[in-house]
């Protein structure tokens, strides 16, 4: 009986304190031109809190699924800007942007190729 009580107590405590990670899907505009931009943008979000990140170079839309209890959409947008890509909320640092390959300079040449 004592073991049964312990097992039931342990089970209930585990259920009460177990937090299920909530995956949220979002999308936002990220500026870029080419396949190298796509790789750079998606790689900036290769972290354990992000389940997937896909950027479409024609629509300039980044679709992302992430654990909302671990990271915010704002911080994901900031990560993308850090690697040189403007988005709806953050502008990439000019020094970082200027070091991108010439074909990736979307501000100077907004042609997708």
How does residue 2 score in pLDDT terms, banded at 50, 70 and 90?
low
Q: What is the DSSP string of 8-34?
A: HHHHHHHHHH--PPPEEEEEEEB---S
| Residue 69 within a domain | yes
CA 5 remoteness from chain centre: 44
| Residue 11 within a domain | no
| Residue 33 within a domain | yes
pLDDT in the model for residue 18: 47
pLDDT in the model for residue 17: 46
Q: Are 92 and 108 in contact (CB under 8 A)?
A: no
| Residue 15 within a domain | no
CATH number of 37's domain: 3.30.70.100
- Domain count across the chain: 1
Mean per-residue pLDDT, 1-28: 64
Helix (H) or strand (E) holding 82: helix 73-82
| Residue 13 within a domain | no
**Pair of tokens at residue 108:** 């100077």
- Tell me the pLDDT tens digit for each residue of 69-109: 999 999 999 999 999 999 999 999 999 999 999 999 999 88
b/e sequence 25-57, b meaning 16+ C-beta within 10 Å = eeebebbbbbeebbebbbebbeeeebeebebeb
Q: Are 96 and 84 in contact (CB under 8 A)?
A: yes
The residue with greater pLDDT, 78 or 14, is 78
* Domain of 38, in residue numbers: 20-104
- The values of phi and psi at residue 103, to 5°, are -70, -15
**Pair of tokens at residue 26:** 């979002």
- Tell me the pLDDT tens digit for each residue of 19-73: 567 999 999 999 999 999 999 999 999 999 999 999 999 999 999 999 999 999 9
* pTM, entire model: 0.80
pLDDT in the model for residue 21: 73
| Residue 27 within a domain | yes
| Residue 97 within a domain | yes
pLDDT in the model for residue 36: 97
| Residue 30 within a domain | yes
């Amino acid at each position: 009986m004592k073991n049964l009580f312990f097992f039931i107590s342990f089970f209930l405590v585990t259920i009460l304190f177990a937090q299920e990670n909530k995956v949220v899907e979002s999308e936002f505009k990220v500026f870029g031109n080419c396949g190298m931009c796509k790789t750079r943008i998606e790689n900036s979000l290769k972290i354990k809190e992000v389940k997937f990140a896909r950027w479409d170079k024609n629509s300039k839309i980044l679709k992302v699924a992430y654990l909302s209890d671990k990271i915010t959409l704002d911080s994901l947008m900031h990560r993308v800007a850090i690697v040189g890509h403007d988005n709806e909320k953050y502008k990439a640092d000019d020094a970082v942007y200027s070091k991108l390959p010439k074909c990736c300079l979307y501000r100077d040449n907004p042609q997708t190729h």
